[in-house]
Chain A
Amino acid sequence: MCESCGCAGVSHKSHVHGESGRLSVAVFSDILRHNNDQAAHNREHFTEHGVLALNLMSSPGSGKTSLLEATIDALGDVFRIGVIEGDLATENDARRIRAKGVPAVQITTGQACHLDAEMVHEALHQLDLASLDLLFIENVGNLVCPASFDLGQHANVALLSVTEGDDKPAKYPVLFRAADLILLSKSDLLEFIDDFSPIRAEQHIRALANPAKIFPVSARRPESLAPWLQWLRARWDAQRNGAPRAADTTAALPAK
């Protein structure tokens, strides 16, 4: 409500009250409007090109890059995959992905703790979206800041490694509430770790009112990836069927 006249403000509309050299302007716009506009623009690009874009978020060291490597091994013949890697420094992760024969753009953020829509847009200039089906954006390892910045992705995937503690969703509610899928990574270690309970992890996630599916996965056990790969295929199908490309709509599943 505008404090000068008591009127109700309307989103994205300003109005003014001139009083002795001062103006009170009611604004009601999202502080992240600039980022959100850029993200919407990125999303349009992805959708137009029939690319499913996924934002991977987790703590550092929870296995995002290893999961991507294993996913490329499993689906590299089915989908044309591209990766944007976000890290404070080094080209290491992009190198690991390129070694799998997949295009990867490394964004080094310096001291910035998250990717934003503009950084992703810049990285897109180095990727040929027309030759991709799936784009993974590996966010900076951080459970706080990435949650606030829309990148233009179609879905958020959060990793929670079983070495971290099953109460991480309660400690970082904003990020885990925003996740459309949660992967309990390094699940091959569950038999050695007696204080991580997948059931408790799920309870914490449901307490955030998040209905997301939760799959235990291990990059070292390819068979454990089946539900994740199936989710990717279903998500890609839904994306492609919901938004057909102008050209090249013939194949249900593209050949590499």
Chain B
Amino acid sequence: MHELALCQELIAEVTRIAAAHDAVGASRILVMLGPLSGVEAPLLKRAFLVARVGTVAEEATLEIEQQPLSVRCTVCGAKSEVTPTNLLCRTCGAWQVEILEGDALLLKSVELFLDTAAEDHPVEQKAAAETTSAQLGNG
């Protein structure tokens, strides 16, 4: 159920980015999900179809990149690819492992539609966008 709440956060972020770049909408949203994020990709996609209505992402597609899940054993030092319910070291069986990757819940990138007026002045638009993007990065 929390996938809908997550989509609302996601779309709020996309809305901020679109506004910062004077974009009229988003065409493609790329998200990276790890198996330990607690979020299911199919549910997120379904929730997105509901959450995007009436927002800048109304026309957008949501693409999900699955992050692999891997750990490093603090006992023997080996690196293993593991599953969410069994994080044990595949070399020595120890449970004392640290997660290397697999808990991501990231907005990686957004593709935006610029308004048609901006198309006549791509250079100025790009410069303006870079300024706002820098401001966004500081915020």
Contact = CB atoms under 8 A, between A and B. Distances in A.
B111 A31 contact: no
Contact residues of B: prevailing secondary structure: mixed
Contact residues of A: prevailing secondary structure: mixed
B77 interface: no
Interface in A184-207: 204, 206-207
B95 A174 contact: no
B52 to A, nearest CB: 14
Contact of B86 (A13, A26, A29, A207): A207
A253 to B, nearest CB: 34
Interface stretch (A79-87, A142-150, A236-244): A142-150
- Say which size band chain B's interface belongs to: 35 or more
A5 B54 CA distance: 31
B2 A29 contact: no
Contacts of A206: 88, 95
Interface string A7-47: 00100111110101111111111111111000000000000
Contacts of B125: 18
A149 to B, nearest CB: 7
A165 interface: no
Nearest to A147: B38
A251 interface: no
B109 A25 contact: yes
B111 A30 contact: no
Interface string A158-181: 000000000000110111010000
A207 B108 contact: no
Nearest to A14: B133
Contact of A32 (B6, B86, B87, B99): B6
A173 B111 contact: no
B1 A145 contact: yes
A22 B109 contact: no
Contact of A173 (B36, B97, B109): B36
Contacts of A113: 1-2
A9 B133 CA distance: 13
A122 B113 CA distance: 37
Contacts of B84: 173-174
Nearest to A167: B85
A140 B122 CA distance: 50
A113 B43 CA distance: 15
Interface string B69-107: 001000000000000111110000001111100000111
B106 A26 contact: no
> Which among A25, A171, A211 has the highest number of chain B CB atoms within 10 Å?
A25
B55 to A, nearest CB: 15
B129 A23 contact: yes
B13 A29 contact: yes
Interface in B1-20: 1-2, 5-6, 9-10, 12-13, 17, 20
Contacts of B109: 2-3, 9, 24-27
B31 A28 contact: no
Given A22-B114, A206-B95, A209-B98, 13 more contacts: A12-B137, A14-B133, A14-B136, A18-B114, A20-B119, A25-B109, A31-B10, A171-B85, A174-B36, A177-B36, A206-B88, A207-B86, A211-B95
8 contacts: A14-B137, A21-B119, A23-B129, A24-B112, A27-B107, A30-B107, A33-B9, A171-B85
Interface of A: 2-3, 9, 12-16, 18, 20-35, 112-114, 116, 144-145, 147-149, 170-171, 173-175, 177, 204, 206-211
Closest 8 A-B residue pairs measured CB to CB? Answer: A145-B2, A18-B126, A174-B38, A209-B87, A206-B95, A14-B133, A148-B38, A113-B1
